[in-house]
A and B are shown apart, each in its own frame.
Chain A
Amino acid sequence: MSIAAQQFLEAAGSITRNLRHRGLIQTALRKYEAARDRKKSAFNDWSAARQSAAETKWDAINHLDTYLVEFASKLEARGTKVHWCPTGPEARDTIRGIIRDAQAKCIVKSKAMTAEEIHLNEALEKDGFEVVESDLGEFIVQLRQEPPYHIVFPAMHLTRDEISDLFERELGSAPTREPEELTMIARRALRRKYLQADVGITGANFAIAETGMVSITENEGNARLTSALPRVMVTLLGIEKVLPKLEDLALFLPLLATAGAGQTVTGYNTLYGGPRQPGESDGPTEWHVVLLDNRRTELLADPEQRDALHCIRCGACLNVCPIFRNVGGHTYGTTYSGPVGSVITPHLRGLQDWKHLSNASSLCGACTEACPVKIDLHHHLLQNRRNAVGDAPSWIERLAWRAHAFVVNTPALYQFAQEVGRIVEPLRKRLQGTPLDPVQSWTRTRDLPPVAGESFKEWWRNRR
């Protein structure tokens, strides 16, 4: 078992017993569900809209080279520097170089999961820069020195009291139970940072090929400020973010907001097409767009799971996933958690180390049903399981499944096994709850139904 798998099992073991966590997440996500359902019902045809989005992303991903070249050349034509980075370290070094060249001291950052993916903050802090996360949830988890809990709701695992304690400790603010006051404390703390920062770093939600623009979705206005005041702007995004046309946003912005947060559209959806242009009064004089591969092309090379690159990171699959709702975001130990994380992490970070995430699913399919771009998520988990076995089968398991096949295929053996089950039942009951119980992983929390005195097949035979 990989280290990641052991850590997952340990973390899942303790958090699933934490009823406070369970209650907090259920309450938060029930609020989300109610809002999402209300917004979904405003669609004339939600399922047709999803199909159209899936087709649009299919088009984008299956012509990715064409669209990326179009995107980059349009950006460059307006003075943007485009950097192509095959790996995480290359992207990190590119951004470190930009920041060194800018002789920056303070960096303000708006939410970017790609930055989490390449561990950008740690690298920049090691270089001696101050990096301030400006999204409220990200600001909170940064103060706690932990990764975001959820790709859209980074601090959903915390109560207002915990946040108040945190702010009191780290910012010296007075304790309060009011979310509004807590928000204002963060607002005041960050206002100075926007004005001081030399560099602003953002992520992106969409890359529009037709016009050479990135689109950034947010509610707070922090990304707008990050992109307005510092003199240098850096935008880091995965190569899969492309959409062919500007008008595609008319579909994708409502889908993203509805599926992701139960909103009609998110508060600010902002298109950036270049650094400050002639005649404009503000904005960065330099803009760097960093395009990240980091093994996305490996996923692209798997036609069976290529549609996982359609993901718009809305978080809907996390929100409906009963596994996520019980183990929470940190247990995964990955940048991208929940169903989509379990699907793509093995491709991005190695199948054998991360296959346990594909096994840790009941394959219920709630994720696939929720996905606004119709990624076949739960079936990809099955495919990951098959691929993991194909690459490196466990001979013990293989033997066990062969034995299982032999028993169920041989009626006399199958009946004999039932008979054995009947005979050992009293003994097993006595061993229940002890390490000697052969089915203790079941019986530790659940009763096991006894083998019936007369099986169905025996009844059927006797009946005739």
Chain B
Amino acid sequence: MRPNDRMNITLFIPCFVDTCFPEVGRHMVRILERLGHRVTCPEAIACCGQPAFNSGYWDEARQVAGKTLHHLRDAEAVVIASGSCGAMLKVFYPQLYEGRPEAGAARALSERTWEFSDFLVNRLGVTDLGARFPAKVTFHDGCHGLRELGIKSAPRRLLEKVRDLELVEMTDAETCCGFGGTFAAKFPMISTAMGEVKCASAADTGAEYMVSNDSSCLMHLQGLLSRQGKPLKTIHLAQILDPQ
């Protein structure tokens, strides 16, 4: 790596990853630093504003998003640890600020923001991180990453290069797990039924792990699997890719 290939990466760790899954963020920091890049994590921002946005409270969402927009204004590249929060920054900020003075800043941030696996494969051009993970896994496509950001092949290309890992696709890989943010709490019965369909599809592959690039989906799925005493485990992509 030439010195000027070295990037200044701003890692955006969303609130639930920070609070409940800090290891996901730690692995991302190590992976990006080992590739020779400088990583910073702005401590002042905690949330992208999506919960309020999805609930229809756009004014309140802008209260949160405004701060994020401000703190990320000079970032060279923003890498975000969730496809869903990534969609918020990349797709929904421009809508949230359409016709407002911040519209230009929102569009500029959108251009510089990357979901983690997308960044590795399509910005850095890296697929082999030297990791080894001796297990059979199946991959869950988080809907926002898949359909808002168009990310399908990047996480799979990364998994293909992991030693001793066997990737088996499930029938319902692209079916929503039922998390959906506040949906999971407002309509728990529907959310649970959807999660059960997803887990059954993953279990049918005989995989030990269900992998995803979105901790929010995994929080819901693991919660369901643990409660039902199922042997299938969930794991974030970054945890597999970091050779430690």
Residues of A within 8 A of B (CB): 9, 12-13, 16-17, 22, 26, 322-323, 325-327, 359-366, 368-369, 382, 385-390, 393, 397-398, 401-402, 404-406, 408-409, 411, 414, 418, 421, 439, 441-442, 444-452, 454-461
A437 to chain B, nearest CB (A): 12
Q: How far is the CA of A397 from the CA of B182 in the complex (A)?
A: 12
What is the number of contacts between chain A and chain B, taking CB atoms within 8 Å? 188
Chain B residue at smallest Cβ distance from A389 = B56
Q: Which of A13, A364, A385 contacts B55 (CB 8 A)?
A: A385
* Sample of 26 A–B contacts (CB below 8 Å): A16-B192, A326-B193, A327-B190, A359-B183, A360-B187, A362-B194, A364-B143, A364-B180, A397-B57, A401-B60, A404-B47, A408-B47, A411-B44, A418-B19, A442-B223, A444-B188, A446-B195, A446-B224, A447-B227, A450-B20, A452-B23, A456-B18, A456-B22, A459-B25, A459-B26, A460-B41
Q: Which of B103-111, B124-132, B170-178 lies at the binding interface?
A: B170-178
| B residues less than 8 Å from A361 (CB atoms) | 180, 183
Task: Give the interface size class of chain B.
Answer: 35 or more
B143-178 CB contact bits vs A (8 Å, 1 = yes)? 110111000000000000000000000000011101
CB pair B19 A368 closer than 8 Å: no
**B75 located at the interface, meaning its Cβ lies under 8 Å from any Cβ of chain A in the complex:** no
Q: How far is the CA of A405 from the CA of B47 in the complex (A)?
A: 9
Q: Which of B22, B67, B143 contacts A363 (CB 8 A)?
A: B143
If A363-B180, A414-B46 touch, does A446 touch B64 (CB 8 Å cutoff)? no
| B residues less than 8 Å from A456 (CB atoms) | 13, 17-18, 22, 25-26, 41
Q: How far is the CA of A362 from the CA of B44 in the complex (A)?
A: 29
If A405-B64, A451-B20 touch, does A16 touch B41 (CB 8 Å cutoff)? no
Chain A residue at smallest Cβ distance from B67 = A409
For window 10-48 of B, CB contacts with A under 8 Å fall at: 13, 15, 17-23, 25-26, 29, 41, 43-44, 46-47
**B2 located at the interface, meaning its Cβ lies under 8 Å from any Cβ of chain A in the complex:** no
CB pair B22 A455 closer than 8 Å: yes
Q: How far is the CA of A22 from the CA of B198 in the complex (A)?
A: 13
CB pair A451 B226 closer than 8 Å: no
CB pair A362 B60 closer than 8 Å: no
Q: Which of A362, A397, A402 contacts B183 (CB 8 A)?
A: A362
Q: Which of B47, B187, B194, B226 contacts A447 (CB 8 A)?
A: B226
**B133 located at the interface, meaning its Cβ lies under 8 Å from any Cβ of chain A in the complex:** no
Chain B residue at smallest Cβ distance from A384 = B56
Q: How far is the CA of A457 from the CA of B183 in the complex (A)?
A: 27
Q: How far is the CA of A363 from the CA of B88 in the complex (A)?
A: 12
Q: How far is the CA of A408 from the CA of B47 in the complex (A)?
A: 6
**Most interface-central of A388, A409, A418, A461 (chain B CB within 10 A):** A409
Q: Which of A26, A388, A406, A452 contacts B19 (CB 8 A)?
A: A452
Q: How far is the CA of A250 from the CA of B49 in the complex (A)?
A: 46
Q: How far is the CA of A457 from the CA of B13 in the complex (A)?
A: 8
| A residues less than 8 Å from B46 (CB atoms) | 408-409, 411, 414
If A404-B60, A456-B17, A456-B25 touch, does A442 touch B185 (CB 8 Å cutoff)? yes
Q: How far is the CA of A460 from the CA of B46 in the complex (A)?
A: 14
**Most interface-central of B13, B57, B143 (chain A CB within 10 A):** B57
**B54 located at the interface, meaning its Cβ lies under 8 Å from any Cβ of chain A in the complex:** yes
Shortest Cβ-Cβ A-B pairs, 4 listed: A362-B180, A446-B223, A385-B56, A364-B176
CB pair B18 A455 closer than 8 Å: yes
**B58 located at the interface, meaning its Cβ lies under 8 Å from any Cβ of chain A in the complex:** yes
B62 to chain A, nearest CB (A): 9
B10 to chain A, nearest CB (A): 12
**Most interface-central of A16, A322, A398, A452 (chain B CB within 10 A):** A322
Q: Which of B13, B57, B61, B197 contacts A22 (CB 8 A)?
A: B197
Chain B residue at smallest Cβ distance from A358 = B56
Chain A residue at smallest Cβ distance from B53 = A382
| A residues less than 8 Å from B195 (CB atoms) | 446
Q: How far is the CA of A9 from the CA of B189 in the complex (A)?
A: 9
CB pair B21 A452 closer than 8 Å: yes
| B residues less than 8 Å from A408 (CB atoms) | 15, 46-47, 64
